[in-house]
Amino acid sequence: MPLSGPIIKSKAKWIDLCTQSCGFTPLETDIRTSDITMSVVTRHPIIPDSTDEEVTQHTRTLIWQLLRGFLFTDTSGTRIRLYFLEVLDCDLALARRWSWGSVVLGYLYHNLCNGAKWEIKKVGGCMHLLQIWAWSRISMVRLSVLQVIQHDHLPYGCRWIVPKSYKGSPRHCIRLYCDDLDRMS
């Protein structure tokens, strides 16, 4: 295991990475250690006469935002991790073949474990994945589906993108949920 080489990236390195990978140059004040203000990332739209390189950079920026805003949410609010951009600084066709699902699931598990600590008030991770799992496995939180979609070629979560009934579903009833979950185990 090598012990030499850079340990962490400096602000200048992160700025260079944003310029090279996404086509915009943030200010040094926009970067804090290893994250950047989300508004800096979102204010660089694509224009109709963009070059192929600019389209690729914009695509990389959108994927970066999707990773932060949906798959790897955290509790920082308005900041986005620069580490994700470092991962995306490659051929996008290569990134498509990576096992993103296992990483998303691992990140969710990590955040759920941290969220179980008494002092933690917020939980990060892909909550949509947790919600789909809960609707599928825990009957007391499942909504009544008014129209069932059964297509083998669609992702599993699509079965919940249908009209649902909230009638009879308990809301703001934490004691009921805790009691029912205790009975399940």
Residues forming beta bridges with residue 145, ordered by sequence position? 164
- Band (109; pLDDT cuts 50, 70, 90): very high
Residues 5-49: pLDDT tens digits? 555 568 888 889 999 989 899 988 998 888 888 888 888 777 888
- Dist CA 59 CA 44 (whole Å): 11
pTM of the model: 0.73
100-115 and 127-137 are packed helices; what angle lies between their axes, rounded to 10 degrees? 80
Residue-averaged pLDDT of the chain:
82
At 164, the amino acid letter reads K
At 18, the amino acid letter reads C
**Domains in the chain: boundaries:** 1-96, 128-185
At 53, the amino acid letter reads E
Report yes or no: 30 and 36 within 8 Å, Cβ to Cβ.
yes
52-66 and 11-22 are packed helices; what angle lies between their axes, rounded to 10 degrees? 120
Q: What's the N-to-C CA distance of the chain in angstroms?
A: 44
Report yes or no: 73 and 126 within 8 Å, Cβ to Cβ.
yes
pLDDT of residue 37: 86
